[in-house]
Structure 1
Amino acid sequence: MSDVQTIIKIAKNEVGYREGKSGGHWNNSQKFSPAVPGLEWSQNQAWCATFVSWCALNAGLSDLYPRTASCATGVSWFKQRGRWSAYPAIGAQIFFGPNGGTHTGLVYDYDDTFVYTVEGNTNGDGSAEGDGVYLKKRERRSSYVYGYGYPRFSAGIVSADPAYKGKDDESNKPTSNIVALSAGVKPGGRHAQVRELQQLLIKAGFGPIKGAVTDLYGPETQRAVARFHDANPRYRSVGVAHDPKIGPTGFVALQKLAGRR
């Protein structure tokens, strides 16, 4: 699951959550402020920005979103990093009202007319008193929408902004063909990925491997792996000369040597 999918899933899982009540009114007492280090003080205050900070924290993405209870501070945080746009993007933080200081939420989708969000400290009836976490449908060109902060996702961001097309758009980024090494690939054993290992060794110039291609990590394959390690000693096991066992980082390096990207 990608970073953007993770934070959206976490945010959506909170839809239906309601804050506390006292004296017949919603009171802004909620679970998010006490759970975000540094924002404990914001309990019983407007918590839309705190909700986004909580989602980022639980997604392991705290460095990609501002940790703040203030919408205005959130706007400044993104602008200072050059991650601001007038166009929606998947996973972006949306800001509302004059200078973006009124309200905020997370974008989970958009189309030509609407932007679809998860928002905390809002409501379902359009009143001014927020009470919980809701899915919202907003008009993209509404004067209430101030703009969007773009997290710097490692895979890029899917955006409606023409300036991001082909630059920071995960839909335009090539998919890597590099694969991880299975734990079952061991000298003396059999595993389907041994065939791939043998092919990569031969293509990278560490063959020949008599009897290849087969799923057996036999003596011939071990000797080929040792040749790879002799030429690239940083990938061999510490203290092992002519190391016959391929490791995870070595397998990645071997793929690149064989021309895989």
Structure 2
Amino acid sequence: MCLTSPTSTEVRSCAESPQGEPGTQSPGVNPLLSSGRAVSFGPNPSANPVGGQRRGEGPLNTGIQNLIKALESELGYTEKSDGYSKFGDWYTKNVDDSYDFGHAAWCDTFLAWGAQQAGVTAQTGQFAYTPSHAAWFKKQDAWGTKPEPGAFVFYDWSGGKGIDGVDHVGIVTSVEGSTIHTIEGNVDGQFAKRKDRDQGNVVGYGYPEKVKVAPAQPQAPAPQQKAALPSAGGSGGGTATVLAQQASAPQDAPSVELWGAFTAIILAAIAVLIVARRTVLPNARRATARKGRHHRSATTA
């Protein structure tokens, strides 16, 4: 089952094959568009080797391989009788809690879960509504019609080629001629399975490795903080601005040579004062004494 719009209760089957074989439909839902994020891939025992090479290009990056590994770990999972899936439930709890996606179509939330496990949500987007997911890739300038391992493949079972008509999504693990080998959720009775498909119902491909991820922004300087200082009386009061990271590293202690030089200067200054005291004060006493005698002599005369 796949969501046909973010507001209607109409549901289109994700399980319908390119040859028109109908799949089991789950109860109608009222899904809401969710936010975009990223995904990754892993090994595939199909025609191409694990992490197989794309045409004329190198192997998949580690993040995309890890996404595929995460999805492979859930192959064989099937939704419950009431349409519940653990991937939709996870999506509600971790991505968008505006709706109960636990009972909604889960082909796209399956991929969102795998992307989260691989840590590549910035490259793949995380959506519950497949047309919006396809549009997101196109907006990221990461959309095209060439099948590649690691690409998200979007289908329209009616054969249309417009993004608005997208019914279903999976991830390509390898390509063999005109056949694409995929991992998809919510297919053939609401299973997570590998599929081998031709490209007759493919609308297009989203390429996670072509999504430009913004580099991490440098951290801003630590803000200044106010620290209370004690008053002269010791009762506290007053404030002083101090840096938040003040004293984050110990300051180097003065060297022994510096202390020695400082001590020598102090001792020299003290010695000068002592010598000056011994030289000046006795002379002052003698001069005072002579002046006194002369004064008395003058008075006597």
TM superposition score normalised by structure 1: 0.52
- 2:64–2:120 contact (8 Å) kept in structure 1: no
Q: Deviations over 1:150-200 (max 9, x none)?
A: 00269xxxxxxxxxxxxxxxxxxxxxxxxxxxxxxxxxxxxxxxxxxxxxx
Question: 2:108 aligned to 49, 74, 79, which one?
Answer: 49
Question: 1:28 aligned to 76, 83, 88, which one?
Answer: 83
- 1:39–1:68 contact (8 Å) kept in structure 2: no
- The Cα of 1:148 is off from its aligned counterpart by 0.4
In 2, distance between residues paired with 1:28 and 1:136? Answer: 21
Equivalent in the alignment of 1:105: 170
Q: Deviations over 1:58-115 (max 9, x none)?
A: 1111111121100001011000010001011111111000434200011111121200
- 2:141–2:210 contact (8 Å) kept in structure 1: no
- The Cα of 1:12 is off from its aligned counterpart by 1.2
In 2, distance between residues paired with 1:90 and 1:139? Answer: 15
In 1, distance between residues paired with 2:153 and 2:191? Answer: 17
The structure number with the bigger radius of gyration is: 2
Size of the aligned set, in residue pairs, is 146
In 1, distance between residues paired with 2:126 and 2:113? Answer: 8
Secondary structure class of the residue paired with 1:9: helix
Matches within 5 A, 1:6-85: 6-21=66-81, 27-36=82-91, 37-40=94-97, 41-85=100-144
Structure 1 runs of 4+ aligned residues shifted over 6 Å read none
- The Cα of 1:45 is off from its aligned counterpart by 1.2
Instruction: Please report the RMSD computed on the Cα atoms of aligned residues, expressed in angstroms.
Output: 2.5
Secondary structure class of the residue paired with 2:68: helix
Structure 1: gaps of 5 or more residues:
22-26, 124-129, 155-237, 241-261
Please say if 1:114 is aligned against 2:173: no
- 1:28–1:47 contact (8 Å) kept in structure 2: no
Equivalent in the alignment of 1:150: 207
In 1, distance between residues paired with 2:180 and 2:146? Answer: 10
When residues 239 and 117 of structure 1 are mapped into structure 2, their CA distance, relative to the original with a 3 A threshold, is: farther
Matches within 5 A, 1:63-212: 63-97=122-156, 98=160, 99-100=162-163, 101-123=166-188, 130-140=189-199, 142=200, 144-152=201-209
- The Cα of 1:46 is off from its aligned counterpart by 1.0
One-letter amino acid of the structure 2 residue matched with residue 147 of structure 1? G
One-letter amino acid of the structure 2 residue matched with residue 10 of structure 1? A
Structure 2: gaps of 5 or more residues:
1-60, 212-249, 253-301
In 1, distance between residues paired with 2:65 and 2:125? Answer: 18
One-letter amino acid of the structure 1 residue matched with residue 107 of structure 2? C
Equivalent in the alignment of 2:267: none
In 2, distance between residues paired with 1:46 and 1:134? Answer: 15
- 1:39–1:69 contact (8 Å) kept in structure 2: no
In 2, distance between residues paired with 1:4 and 1:50? Answer: 16
When residues 64 and 239 of structure 1 are mapped into structure 2, their CA distance, relative to the original with a 3 A threshold, is: farther
Secondary structure class of the residue paired with 1:152: helix
Which structure exhibits the higher relative contact order, with contacts defined as CA atoms closer than 8 Å and separated by 6 or more residues? 2
TM superposition score normalised by structure 2: 0.45
